[in-house]
Amino acid sequence: MNILFVADPLEVFRTYKDTTFSMMREAQRRSHRVFACEPRHLGWRSGEVAHAEVRDIELTGAEHDWFQVRESRVRPLRDFDAVVMRKDPPFDGEYFYATHLLQQAEREGVKIFNRPGALRDHPEKLAIMEFPQFLSPTLVTRSADEVRRFHQEHRDIILKPLDGMGGMGIFRVGPDGLNLGSIIETLNREGSTTIMVQRFVREIAQGDKRVLVIGGRVVPFCLARIPQGSEIRGNLAVGGKGVAQPISDRDREIAETIGPLLNERGLLLIGLDVIGDCLTEINVTSPTCFQEITQQTGFDVPAMFLDALEEAIDRDRTVL
C-alpha cells in the first residue's frame, strides 16, 4: 500500500519518542510505501482533484539522518491507499482549512484517518462533555461570574484554555482564591474567549494517564505522566515522567464506552486522558505515547495501529 502521512516537518521529528515515526517504521517493515507532507503542501485547483506536494521517503534506520527522499512531486491524494492525518495541535485556522482539503479528497474516494469531519466535530477538550458520567465537575464558559461561583462551590479548581496543548496555560486556584481574578482575565480576555474550569483531581500525583484506543479496541497498557517537583501538570512536554502500567478497571470502562462509539464516527485512533477515575480530555488530532508504552511493556502499539489501519482499508474496499 501507499500511505501518506500529513504531519509536522520530518526534520523536527524526535525519532526516539515520536509516535508518527513509529507508525512509519512499522508501515515500512510491512513493505508499505511511505510518503510524507505537511498541511501547507495540500492544495485543490478548481475543476481538479485535491493534491499535495509529497515526499516519497525511505527510513534508513540511522539515529540522525533517519530518512532519505526517493522523489518529491505533486500527486493527487487519490493516488494513496490511506492518508494519515498526524499534524500536531494547535487546532487553528490552518488546521481547520486542512481538514476541508482532506474532506474533498475523501469525497474523491480517499481513505483519511482520522476522518476530517470527525476531527472538527470532536475538539479535544470539549469532546469530554458528551460523557458526564466520567467527569470531575466541569464548566465551560466565558463568564467570569460563573467561574467565581464554580470556585466558591468546589474551592480547589483547574482553569485552562480550550485550545491549549502540552499543559500550556493550565492554572490551579486553591481555597484562598489567590489570583483568581487575574487568571480569569488572562484566560478569558474580558469575556471574549471560552475557557474550561474543573474541580481539581488530587490523584494527579499518581499521574495523568494516557489511554489509547485503536480501531475501537483498548490498548491494555497506559502511560501515567507523573508531575515532577512542584508542578501540577504531568505532561511530558513540561517535564512529567512517563511510567507505563496496566490499565485499571475504571480506565477500561471509560475506554470501552467511548472508543467504539468514536471509532464508528471515523476516529480510528484516540487518546483518552484520565486522572484518577476522571476523564479530562479526548485527544483526536495526533495522540502520542506509542513508543513509551512499547519500550516499557513490550506491547507493540505501532503494530496494533497498522493492523487496525489495514483492516479499515480492507473493509472499505470490500464495501465498495
The verdict on whether 125 is a catalytic residue reads yes
pLDDT digits (tens), the chain, 320 positions: 999 999 999 999 999 999 999 999 999 999 999 999 999 999 999 999 999 999 999 999 998 999 999 999 999 999 999 999 999 988 899 999 999 999 999 999 999 999 999 999 999 999 999 999 999 999 999 999 999 999 999 999 999 999 877 778 899 999 999 999 999 999 999 899 999 999 999 999 999 999 999 999 999 999 999 988 777 777 777 778 999 999 999 999 999 999 999 999 999 999 999 999 999 999 999 999 999 999 999 999 999 999 999 999 998 665 55
Please say if 48 is a catalytic residue: no
Q: Is 315 a catalytic residue?
A: no
Question: Catalytic annotation on 281?
Answer: yes
What CATH number does the domain containing 311 carry?
A: 3.30.470.20
Cα distance between residue 22 and residue 273, in whole Å: 21
Marked catalytic residue, from 125, 188, 209, 263: 125
CB-based contacts of 309: which residues, under 8 Å, 6+ apart? 3, 82, 84, 113, 268
Asked whether 155 and 178 are in contact (CB, 8 A), the reply is no
Q: Is residue 127 part of a domain?
A: no
Domain presence at residue 120: no
User: Is residue 132 in a domain?
Assistant: no
Out of 75, 111, 233, 263, the active site residue is 233
70 occurs within a structural domain: yes
For the question of residue 160 being annotated catalytic, the response is yes
Tell me whether residue 225 is one of the annotated catalytic residues. yes
Asked if residue 12 belongs to a domain, the reply is yes
User: What CATH number corresponds to the domain at position 153?
Assistant: 3.30.1490.20
Say yes or no: 193 and 291 in one domain: no
**In degrees rounded to 5, what are phi and psi of residue 75?**
-135, 150
In a domain, 249, yes or no: yes
What CATH number did the domain enclosing 19 receive? 3.40.50.20
Domain of residue 185: give its range.
137-200
Is 107 an active-site residue? Answer: no
Active-site position among 111, 225, 251, 292 = 225
In a domain, residue 174? The reply is yes
pTM of this prediction?
Answer: 0.94
How many folded domains does the chain comprise? 3
d(CA 192, CA 2): 44
| Active-site choice (160, 199, 209, 292) | 160
